[in-house]
Structure 1
Amino acid sequence: MLSVEYKTPEKFAASLTGSLVGGAAHAEARSANGRVSYLAGVRYKNAQYVLNSLRQAQGGYNPTFTTRRPS
């Protein structure tokens, strides 16, 4: 069984990371009266830079990823 606990932001926080194959950013905050909070994030990944650097003579690889929550 999977147990999920959602994070409840207590104050403003943000992060930003990056690399040769992608990056990520997030922000979270809570209103002064504590009634409204949010947590948002985005991720991007592209391995094409790494794959092109391999300089293989044959083959092609262009991955596409899509995720969705099961119904």
Structure 2
Amino acid sequence: MIRPASEIEYPASQAQRNRASMLARMEALNSANSALMAVIAERLGAEITEDEFRVSELTAEQDRLIANMRQLARA
């Protein structure tokens, strides 16, 4: 939504900066969550076909994504 010029504050208030930061973090977490769900789905497929190498590879990627999400949540 585009706000009228009369409602836009220059410079941005601390509350607006905090809100923008929170929205950016939420967007990053949403993207990370989507990536994690894709890796989990792929890993489950690898488990069904009993591809142990691919399972271990995807498990490592899953662990990396979870660590990244934890870091984003703490920020």
TM-score of the alignment, normalized to the shorter chain, above 0.5: no
TM-score (normalizing by structure 1): 0.34
TM-score, scaled to structure 2: 0.33
Greater helix percent: which structure? 2
**Structure ranking higher on relative contact order (CA contacts 8 Å, 6+ apart):** 2
